[in-house]
Structure 1
Amino acid sequence: MTTLMMSEDETMLQDAARGFLDGAAPVSHLRGLRDAGETHDAKLWGEMAAMGWTGVLVPEDAGGSDMGHAAAGILAEEMGKTLVTSPFLSTAVIAATALRQVATDRSKAALGQIAEGKVIYALAIDEGHKHDPDATALQAVADGNGFKLTGSKGFVVDGANADRVLVLARAEAGLTLFDLPADRDGITRTANAMIDARDAAAVDFADVEATGDDVVGTVGDAMTVLQPALNAGQAALAAEMAGLAAGAFGMTVGYLKERKQFGIEIGRFQALQHRAAHLWCETEVTASAVRNAGRVLDEDIDNATMAVSLAKARATDTAKLAVIEGVQMHGGIGMTDAFDMGFYMKRARVAAEWLGDYGYHAERVAAARGF
């Protein structure tokens, strides 16, 4: 039976992460990056690597700490509480999980670079307004012993700052995953101004040359490699959103205890107490779903779809509730840029769409249950 109680080691990891992030990356750090027009802090990323976070899913023989998906979720959740901006999800979670599915010298070397914090990966998968890998139209046309890639990808998170790109393309044999340097001839990246100040880009491919060595896994069988990586990314993103909800809740409760009307703290008003209690209950249930997803991924990554989608759907719903209630209970100040609640709302909105929205994951849960 899967236990949802945190182990002593996990509790220590959580405490260490919170202690570091409170000092190195509070919400004011995100505000500073946004105001400076930046989306990546290389110093912060290097410090994460020094603590072993970038290698959380990298095997020990490749230089990683290999702590597992539950641990990755703990780190993502703590990052979510203060809206940390980093390529952790795209690189240390998604790319690392994809690359460890194939046993090649090249993938092992790439995993080592991830663990050392020397490379940033982006996942170029979606082409439409919604997450749908099966709808991939970017073409990989056979050319000699390799391929030429032509097409476009949108909403590539960490795409502007990435060193390498995992790109999903459609070859004659079927969907194929490629690992390409982001500066290869024919690749054009256009940074997007995201409302949550996170790095994302549109990426265009114009007759981009790819060799057989650039293929991750087998030609025409991308999902064998990519699906576990997507599951891992979706679970970690759900954990980040659970942390976001907890962070917004904590800010709101703090405000309820300080703000006075008619000479008393508004937190004494029973109507607000009921709303706060309901939100707390939702965050606790979601935290359990997120923890379960991490446990299931560690135990059986190939059969984790329902647990992961349940976590992502619940986290999306709970984060939305947390930021709406946060804004409402703060009143007019909650809508101003001078106050941090707006950052939580913007991050919740973007995270809801990345790697599948509520409807996408609700449908996957329903299908897994036979509906």
Structure 2
Amino acid sequence: MNFNLTEEQQMLNDSLRRFVTNEYDFEKRGKVIAAGKGTDPATWAALAEMGLLAFSFPEEYDGLGGNAIDTMVVMENFGRGLVVEPYLATVVLAGSVIRDHGSDTQKSGILPAIANGKRLMAFAHSEPGARYNLSHVQTTAKQDGSNYLISGHKTAVLHGGQADQLIVSARTSGGTNDESGLSLFLVDTGAKGVQVDDFATHDGHRTAEIRFSNVTVSADNLIGTIDQAFPAIEKTVDLGIAALCAEAVGAMEAMNAATLEYIKTRKQFGVPIGKFQVLQHRMADMFIQTEQAKTMAILAASEADSNDRASRREAISMAKTLVGQAARYVGQEGVQLHGGMGVTDEMFAAHLFKRLTLINLLFGDADHHLAQVSDGLLAKTA
């Protein structure tokens, strides 16, 4: 497989690097987080103007017809700058659901609005007690004439407090852990019966606890086929994992650069500590871990759009395992080589470490996905 970027992707990569360096530096990021709004309107408008919000959508809906490799380029650069905008929630997760499973009316009404930066969305699926079990859904959608009444509790909804509209998974039949019987619905965050509790996470992003109490939605708000949403949920999460793997690689590269710069300037016994061979070896190990993670992020992106469930899930879990392990190693080493300064908010390395830690936990940590790979291999040999 050719892992080189196309000319267009390389131009995108170069533009994003300039944007993150010049328009979204550490100081700007700090101001966005301090504002507590979860997004900066000017930054989001700039991303829309650059076409980033439209990359993965079809051209007939104001998109650019891109794929998961294009998303990888975007997310890797966002990782380098620790961009906290709701790109993952709105474009990668919610946007992909509408793109792949929405009706023509839903696509024409939502995708151009996302692409133009006029609508923020969130994917509300995880629930208390579910851990990483994607089929664990207790939120219900009961038919009420031509409408549905949604009741339940969603947890850790990425940028749920900033969303204008939610994509909510709900059980329309079956038991709590059944893969069948799940459906997806569009729900306005301002609808009667929706309670959103927005809060900041340790890495500067925003998440929300969202409760639904007999929220009325019409049958037109159903996405896809009733009771058959599990494959859509699974693929959406896989696309999210692939994007997170790319973001982690960008953050690891930034951690390597920040750490190398620090050990070149920090002196001990009259010489830069980077002169000490043991620290050079540790930096080399950080670099190797990052390069291995990058290879797996490419694998994840190359498989994320596939409809071959078994192959896609295996590749995604392998990538999340190795990237998660590498993120932990690079993050911890970077902090240690910075010494006591490495955990202070004044240092970029501390923020990189926090984000790498959260990425490892999102959508299943390294241990969870290692178990998934192991179970898959055992099933093949049984």
Bucket of the pairwise TM-score, normalised by the shorter protein? over 0.9
Task: Assess if the C-alpha contact under 8 Å between 1:97 and 1:228 holds in 2.
Answer: no
Give the total of aligned pairs: 370
CA distances 1:183-217 after superposition (whole Å, capped 9, x unpaired): 11110000123111211110000001122111110
> Do structure 1's residue 283 and structure 2's residue 299 form an aligned pair?
no
Does the Cα contact within 8 Å between 1:55 and 1:114 map onto a contact in 2? Answer: yes
Q: Which residue number corresponds to residue 170 of structure 1?
A: 171
Contact 1:26/1:84 (8 A) holds in 2: no
Structure 2 Cα separation of the partners of residues 365 and 160 of structure 1: 34
Of the candidates 238, 262, 277, which is equivalent to residue 270 of structure 1? 277
Q: Could you tell me which residue of structure 1 aligns to residue 177 of structure 2?
A: none
Moved more, 150-159 or 127-136: 127-136
Deviating more after overlay: 78-87 vs 317-326? 317-326
What amino acid is aligned across from residue 9 of structure 2 in structure 1?
E
Give the match for residue 101 of structure 1: 100
Contact preservation (8 Å) 1:4, 1:292: no
The separation in 1 between residues aligned to 2:317 and 2:332, in whole angstroms, is 23
- 1:64 aligns to what SS in structure 2? coil
**Does structure 1 retain, via aligned residues, the 8 Å contact 2:146–2:219?**
yes
Report the Cα distance in structure 1 between the residues aligned to 2:375 and 2:115, rounded to whole angstroms: 36
Residue in 1 that maps onto 2:23 = 24
* Paired amino acid for 1:240: E
> 2:227, 2:315 → 1: CA distance?
27
State the one-letter code of the partner of 1:318: A
Identity %: 29
Q: Deviations over 1:256-278 (max 9, x none)?
A: 11111112111111111111101
Q: Which residue of 1 aligns with 2:56?
A: 57
TM-score under structure 2 length normalisation: 0.93
Q: Could you say which residue in structure 2 is the equivalent of 1:260?
A: 267
Question: Residue 132 of structure 1: SS of its match in structure 2?
Answer: coil
Q: Which moved more, 1:251-260 or 1:171-180?
A: 171-180
Instruction: Give the equivalent residue in structure 2 for 1:136.
Output: 137
Shift of 1:285: 0.8
Aligned pair partner of 1:364 in 350, 372, 382: 372
* RMSD of aligned Cα (Å): 1.6
Q: 2:244 aligns with which of 237, 241, 246?
A: 237
- 1:333-360 CA deviation, whole Å, 9 max, x = no partner? 1122222222112212222222222223
CA contact (8 A) 2:55 2:67 kept: yes
Partner of 1:304: 312
Give 1:76's aligned residue. Answer: 75
Greater alpha carbon shift after TM alignment, 69-78 vs 286-295? 286-295
Matched AA of 1:59: P
| Mapped partners of 1:117, 1:301: distance in 2 | 32
Q: Distance in 1 between matches of 2:378 and 2:57?
A: 34
Shift of residue 38 of structure 1?
3.4
Distance 2:307 2:291 in 1: 24
Q: What residue number does 2:37 align with?
A: 38
Query: What is the CA deviation profile of residues 117-136 of structure 1, one whole-angstrom value per residue up to 9, with x for unaligned ones?
Result: 11111111111262322111
Q: Which of these residues, 316, 334, 349, is aligned with residue 326 of structure 1?
A: 334
Q: One-letter code of the match for 2:121? A: Y
CA gap of 1:8–1:166, structure 2 versus 1, over 3 A, is same
SS in structure 1 of the partner of residue 166 of structure 2: strand
Contact 1:70–1:298 (8 Å) recurs in 2: no
Work out whether residues 39 and 198 of structure 1, in 8 Å CA contact, stay in contact via their aligned partners in 2: yes
Counterpart residue identity of residue 107, structure 1: K
Higher relative contact order (CA closer than 8 Å, sequence separation 6+) = 1
Query: Amino acid of the residue matched to residue 304 of structure 1?
Result: R
Cα offsets for 1:135-164 (capped at 9, x unmatched) = 111111121122111110110011111011
Amino acid at match of 2:41: A
User: Which residue of structure 1 aligns with residue 356 of structure 2?
Assistant: 348
- The offset of 1:60, in angstroms, is 0.5
- Output the TM-score relative to the length of structure 1: 0.95
Any idea what SS the aligned residue of 2:183 has? strand
**Unaligned ranges ≥5, structure 2:** 175-180
Contact 2:137 2:171 in 1 (8 A): yes
